[in-house]
């Protein structure tokens, strides 16, 4: 990492030591919030009332952001929490995933979990002068599309292992797999939206609410 760079990452990297490492290099981070791994506070280090705050974002497409802090050792790191309400379709999909995990014994579908599933929450160290709430969310959307592409290559196309021994057959196998990958990508682009909240943030959409 270098000064001035922006690190885009998923929730698996959302923890105080990781964010502190980025900040130490004078870089910035934009990461999907992991509520259990990243404790958030206000400037007086009181627990941030996350659920109460996001409940104010009621309409699909509505955004908001708030100043938050997180502690990494002796360092108190300032940041912003950016939130967007998902579309009803995206909410229904998230609730189905919660139900599958509950059936598989991986988690419990609590009322709080159902509420959190209605939102995409992103933590960033970028200030509002550096990026608006919409720009932060759009940056995360781009990273999310890359992740979906890699998942498609691994799960649908099975492009992870070449079961061939000679150059010609390996090349033919790879060409066939790449053709399927490009075709699936083309089909995916036919859809009107590729984002974790279910729609694009249009230029004419209202910006974030004032931070409290």
Task: Name, in order, each residue with C-beta under 8 angstroms of 164's C-beta and a sequence gap of 6 or more.
Answer: 170, 173
Question: Residue 211's pLDDT is what?
Answer: 43
CB 46 within 8 A of CB 120: no
- Give the predicted TM-score (pTM) of the model: 0.74
pLDDT tens for 16-30 read 999 999 999 999 999
Question: Residue 184's pLDDT is what?
Answer: 74
CB 141 within 8 A of CB 196: yes
| pLDDT average, residue stretch 84-112 | 91
* Phi, psi for residue 123 in degrees, rounded to 5: -100, 135
| pLDDT average, residue stretch 98-108 | 88
Residue 167: pLDDT band (50, 70, 90) is confident
pLDDT tens for 146-161 read 877 777 777 777 776 7
pLDDT tens for 68-81 read 999 999 999 999 99
Residue 142: pLDDT band (50, 70, 90) is confident
- Residue 73 is classified by DSSP as T
Question: Residue 209's pLDDT is what?
Answer: 45
Which among 212, 200, 202 is positioned nearest to 57, based on CA atoms?
212
């Amino acid at each position: 990492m270098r000064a001035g760079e922006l690190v885009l990452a998923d929730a698996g990297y959302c923890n105080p030591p990781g964010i502190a490492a980025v900040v130490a290099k004078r870089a910035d981070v934009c990461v999907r919030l992991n509520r259990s791994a990243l404790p958030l506070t206000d400037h007086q280090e009181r627990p941030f009332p996350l659920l109460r705050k996001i409940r104010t974002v009621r309409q699909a497409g509505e955004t908001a952001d708030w100043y938050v802090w997180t502690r990494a050792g002796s360092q108190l790191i300032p940041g912003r929490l950016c939130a967007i309400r998902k579309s009803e379709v995206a909410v229904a999909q998230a609730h189905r995933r919660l139900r599958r995990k509950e059936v598989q014994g991986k988690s419990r579908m609590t009322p709080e979990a159902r509420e959190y599933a209605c939102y995409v929450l992103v933590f960033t160290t970028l200030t509002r002068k550096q990026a608006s709430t919409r720009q932060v969310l759009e940056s995360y959307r781009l990273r999310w599309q890359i992740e979906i592409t890699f998942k498609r290559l691994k799960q649908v196309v099975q492009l992870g292992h070449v079961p061939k021994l000679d150059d010609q057959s390996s090349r033919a196998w790879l060409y066939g797999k790449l053709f399927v990958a490009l075709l699936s990508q083309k089909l995916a682009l036919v859809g009107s939206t590729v984002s974790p909240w279910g729609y694009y943030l249009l230029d004419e959409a209202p910006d974030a609410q004032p931070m409290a």
